Amino acid sequence: MKISTEIIIGKDIKQEDLDLINEYRKIRLDRSSTWDHQNNNYFHDRLFFLVRIDNKLVSFGTLRPIKIYVDNGEIEIMGIQAIISIVQGKGYGKVLMQEMIKYANENELILIGFCEYKNSEFYIKSGLKVFEGKNSNFISVKENGEEYTEEGDVIYHSANDFVIKNALASNMKIKHFIPHW
């Protein structure tokens, strides 16, 4: 059994992998939209992290470039998105997250994502920091200016950032214009 990981930009991902990713986005995340290179290519700027066993895709996730705003300052982060293990309970999700953390460290990136309360323990075991109940600190701003928040925990990793850590610790509001990344 050979485990391998691959990092690939969305515009270069194979349709065969994309079909499987879409299938499991629907099963595990209840997503009705499908990513495809012709009609819905909003994923082309994302980095896909793929974990394979003997060349079979067993886990995947993406990092998406996002701008957030803390205390009127703009910060570029990578949003953690669509973390799914096709084969569960074997540690492939942890391998995936550790590959993302390694990539973030090598490139001095800030990773931020959101999860349901029930999934926080997985992210902690994988090496991320979890800010419990802090999803409400992230204010999503719609095109019409309407603001809203969602429930859940914030998952986070950065070796060098203190602005976001301090903002979350002091209950500051963090704005962004990308709904439910």
Domain at 37, CATH number: 3.40.630.30
pLDDT at 41: 84
CA–CA distances in Å: residue 179 to residues 88, 105, 123, 146: 28, 26, 21, 12
Range of the domain at 42: 3-176
Q: Is residue 133 part of a domain?
A: yes
- Please report the pLDDT score of residue 162 as a whole number: 87
**Is residue 97 domain-resident?**
yes
In a domain, 181, yes or no: no
Q: Tell me the pLDDT tens digit for each residue of 2-26.
A: 999 999 999 999 999 999 999 999 9
User: pLDDT under 50 in the chain at which residues?
Assistant: none
CB proximity list for 173: less than 8 A, separation 6 or greater: 137, 138, 139
What is the number of domains present in the chain?
A: 1
pLDDT for residue 180:
72
pLDDT at res. 3: 96
Q: Compute CA distances 106 → 81, 87, 100, 119, 135, whole Å.
A: 19, 28, 10, 26, 27
